[in-house]
Amino acid sequence: MLERIQQPQPQIAIAAVRDRMGVAEPGEFVAAVEGNLSLKAIFWMVEKRLGGLLLDRLAHHGLDDLLPEPEGTDVRRIAVGAVIGETLRMRALARVLEVLESAGFAVYAIKGAALSAVLPEHSALRPSCDLDLWVPGPAAGAANELLLQTGFVRRDAATPEDPRKWHCQPVCSPEGVLVELHRRPWICPRNLTTGPVRSMRLGHPLVPGGVPTPGVEEQVAIQAVHAALSRTTPGHVLTLWDIAALAQAFEIDWSIVANLVRSLGAMRGLRAVMSRVALLGLTEVPPEVRMSPAEEGRVVFRAVDSEDSTSALRAIWLRRRAVDSLSNWLGSARVALPTLPPPDRRFPGLVARRLRRGMGELLAAVRSMTGGPR
């Protein structure tokens, strides 16, 4: 496995995930940390929301003193902030469910919000950045408007609503938690607006009445399709960990996962993601949802510095590796194109963003040559 990991950041992250899941070889995490821990690796793991996992494993092995100061204090502060943020998100989730379910809307927590209810111990080390909820089909627009009438506010009032998108305009709760209501939980070309194949409701101390979620098979499919079509994956360690944690905790019916993703036209993406889960040794994955042995032999795990480093057009181009046909790829490209602001402010805004980006790149280049801080 190690020969497939070309950079130290994912080496530490993958070793930490394997160690946490109990599948690592003796001394694997310690060797990865002692050979690769650096400020760059620490900041990368924090950026990828794996800082809490790093602290957890360092403490487990008595290696806390390897964190340099003052950066170690910063990482601990961020980890504590993530736990506090999780509490705020669950309280915001309770508020959203109270508003929408009392009005008759069907609502399901997905992605990180679902994991908070399904796997709370896992979620404690895997902080979310927002609340992703699924209100199937056209009802999502009306549900979003209802939230706006009950104390929520639009995050970005300048961007118009685009009904092609898979989720409504993001809104913020009174606590400042970002909430996205998804019309369909798939970044994919096919507009399936039906509800989940299966659903369940799990108790949570901060959510009276419990948290409604899709069944675990659908949660795996949602995570995998998002991973396959996003800019930083296949290979996003956090999402691979999410999928493996679900598969380890539940008896997954992989035929349901495969049939669902096949109906979306993204089986290539599912196989790419699940092969990576299997190659990392995180959990057993049946051959029918994996790539061929020849394709798996070419898989390499790399660190991606930032999602912003990939342009929207390149992200659309990379989707050809995840969808099953040219027509699906063209449909995916259409859905993925960003909505531009109104014409009267479009051109100045684009120019300003280009100038800011150019100045940032210039300053970074000058600092790198002079040895100054980045």
Per-residue pLDDT of 227-245, as tens digits, reads: 887 755 544 889 999 999 9
State the pLDDT at residue 197. 86
Closest CA relative to residue 37, chosen from 46, 370, 239: 46
In a domain, 357, yes or no: yes
Given a cut of 80, whether residue 313 has pLDDT beyond it is no
Closest CA relative to residue 176, chosen from 314, 57, 297, 84: 84
In a domain, 177, yes or no: no
In a domain, 365, yes or no: yes
In a domain, 305, yes or no: no
The parent domain of residue 347 ranges over 343-374
Tokens of 308: 């912003």
In a domain, 167, yes or no: no
Task: Summarize pLDDT for 46-62 with one digit per residue, the tens.
Answer: 888 898 999 999 999 99
- Give the count of domains, the chain: 1
3 state SS of 211: strand
Work out the pLDDT band at 321, boundaries 50, 70, 90: confident
Given a cut of 80, whether residue 134 has pLDDT beyond it is yes
How many Å is the Cα radius of gyration of the chain?
21
Query: Residue range 98-112: average pLDDT?
Result: 96
* Entry pTM: 0.84
Work out the pLDDT band at 343, boundaries 50, 70, 90: very low
User: What separation, in Å, do the N-terminal and C-terminal C-alpha atoms of the chain show?
Assistant: 32
Tokens of 61: 């092995």
In a domain, 218, yes or no: no
In whole angstroms, what separates CA 338 from the centre of its chain?
19
In a domain, 325, yes or no: no
Portion of the chain with pLDDT greater than 90, in percent:
48
In a domain, 349, yes or no: yes
Closest CA relative to residue 189, chosen from 163, 162, 165, 218: 165
Closest CA relative to residue 266, chosen from 199, 193, 327: 327
Mean pLDDT rounded to a whole number for the chain: 84
